[in-house]
């Protein structure tokens, strides 16, 4: 699903690089944590997979497509295969829960029929079927994050990226979000979560890739967060 070979990224020529010689293979259906301090290269990693940026060296393959050779106009079609969840939810405040999720289908040209069947279904999956008409400011943080997960998943992408999905949430709510992501993973979707959340990582016992100074310092299945132990 994701394959990085000797990937390096240097933003400014004379500064230390953001990523150095990263080699990662993530298979279809895996559940992976990407951990590391701020500045360790997590965000660069995510941006590379979305092809917001290109690496300085190395090759990247996501969902069967070579991102280096990919033409710019094809990038949107790559992103249809990658659901994205962020710390700040990125919901539109003037749209209801339903409309926020429907928007994601609308703008990639899905038919009204598809929207009418898929949106309620995914909202049931994330447990928000009774908040369909609520606006984001009427929802709690956890509920907003569920909306954003619903939006990321409504198109049934094979890959779901989450960048600090629980960064703004209390532990109990975070647990709910994690179990939701884990449920989505059980449907066969590859899930990659970049996070600081030590307890979450330790309790889930999933594969952990640890970054430090732009290098992968650890990659273990059923791992723990691991710093300062």
Chain residues in the site for another protein (CB under 8 A)? 73, 76-81, 84, 90, 92, 103-104, 106-109, 111, 151-152, 155
* Cβ at position 227, least distance to another protein in Å: 30
* Cβ at position 201, least distance to another protein in Å: 25
d(CA 126, CA 121): 9
**C-alpha closest to that of 50 among 162, 165, 213:** 162
For residue 3, the cross-strand partners are: 25, 61
User: Which residue, 12 or 107, is less far from another protein as judged by CB?
Assistant: 107
d(CA 166, CA 13): 34
* Cβ at position 109, least distance to another protein in Å: 5
User: Which residue, 68 or 108, is less far from another protein as judged by CB?
Assistant: 108
d(CA 23, CA 2): 10
* Cβ at position 155, least distance to another protein in Å: 7
CA angle 214, 217, 218 (to 5 degrees): 135
CB-based contact 164:86 (threshold 8 Å): yes
User: Which residue, 79 or 196, is less far from another protein as judged by CB?
Assistant: 79
User: Which residue, 15 or 71, is less far from another protein as judged by CB?
Assistant: 71
């Amino acid at each position: 699903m994701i394959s990085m070979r000797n990937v390096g990224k240097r933003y400014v020529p004379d500064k230390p690089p953001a990523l150095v010689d990263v080699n990662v293979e993530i298979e279809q259906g895996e559940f992976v944590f990407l951990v590391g301090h701020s500045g360790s290269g997590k965000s660069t990693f995510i941006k590379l997979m979305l092809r917001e940026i290109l690496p300085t060296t190395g090759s990247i393959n996501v969902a069967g497509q070579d991102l280096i050779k990919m033409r710019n106009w094809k990038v949107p079609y790559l992103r249809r295969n990658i659901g994205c969840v962020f710390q700040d939810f990125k919901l539109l405040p003037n749209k209801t829960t339903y409309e926020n999720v429907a928007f994601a289908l609308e703008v990639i040209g899905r038919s009204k029929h598809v929207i009418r069947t898929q949106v309620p279904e995914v909202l049931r999956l994330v447990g928000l079927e009774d908040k369909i008409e609520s606006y984001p400011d009427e929802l709690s943080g956890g509920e907003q994050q569920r909306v954003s997960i619903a939006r990321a998943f409504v198109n049934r992408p094979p890959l779901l990226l989450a960048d600090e999905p629980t960064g703004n949430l209390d532990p109990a709510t975070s647990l709910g979000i994690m179990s939701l992501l884990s449920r989505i993973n059980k449907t066969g979707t590859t899930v990659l979560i970049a996070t600081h959340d030590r307890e979450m990582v330790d309790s889930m016992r999933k594969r952990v890739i640890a970054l430090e100074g732009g290098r992968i310092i650890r990659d273990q299945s059923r791992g723990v967060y691991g710093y300062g132990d």
